[in-house]
Structure formats: structure tokens, C-alpha cells
Amino acid sequence: MSAEHTHDEHAAEHEGMTKKKIWQVFFYLLGITAVEFFIALYMIPKGLIGHGIGNFAYIALTLVKAFYIVAYFMHLKFEKFALKTGITVSLIFIIYFIVLMLIEGSYQFVQMN
């Protein structure tokens, strides 16, 4: 009886990905992409915002899109907390090490006097 209950709970967690939810996430992603195009093709060329703010907006909006893709289309939203935490911590360390290597790599061009 306990195994059946666990199976039902597991099935209920994954029920969230219906056709309606898939289309909803698709339109979120489409809207975010439209905002990115609006920034790139209208706001920056017209001088309404600077390149630095535009780049920051691209990065932030791309991270939001990455969240939706990973959470819903790769089903990470429906996984256990420990798996989510493990993936998130690993990703943070990977980004940290890439930034660290870029910073340290720039020292090869420093002239020693």
C-alpha cells in the first residue's frame, strides 16, 4: 500500500506538464525573446539605453529563459530538492572557476619590470 501511495505522489508531481503548461512556457519564452529583440533593434540604436544596460538586460533575460527551459522542458522543477541543490551548486562553481580563469589568464599580458 505504501509503494502505491508513493507512486501516486510521484505521478501527481509530473502531472504539471500538460499541453496548456507547455504552451504557456513557450509564450513566456517568446515574450522574453521579443523584449530582447526590442532592446537590440529599437532601444539601443535610438539611444534610449546604453550598451552596458542593454548587455545587462540581455544577460538577465537570458538567465530567465534558461531557468524556464531547465525547469519545465528538462523537468528539473519536478525533481527532489537535493538534486536541484546539487546541480545549482555545481553550476555556481563552474561559473566561478570560469571567471577566475579569465581573471588569472589576463595576467599573462602583464609586463614584469
What tens digit of pLDDT does each residue of 30-73 get?
999 999 999 989 998 888 998 888 888 888 898 889 888 888 87
pTM over 0.75: no
Confidence (pLDDT) at 1 = 47
Confidence (pLDDT) at 4 = 52
Instruction: Say if residues 79 and 17 touch (Cβ distance below 8 Å).
Output: no
Instruction: Say if residues 64 and 33 touch (Cβ distance below 8 Å).
Output: no
Residues in the chain: 113
Alpha carbon 93 to its chain's center: 15
Q: How far apart are CA 77 and CA 68, in angstroms?
A: 9
Q: How far apart are CA 40 and CA 68, in angstroms?
A: 22
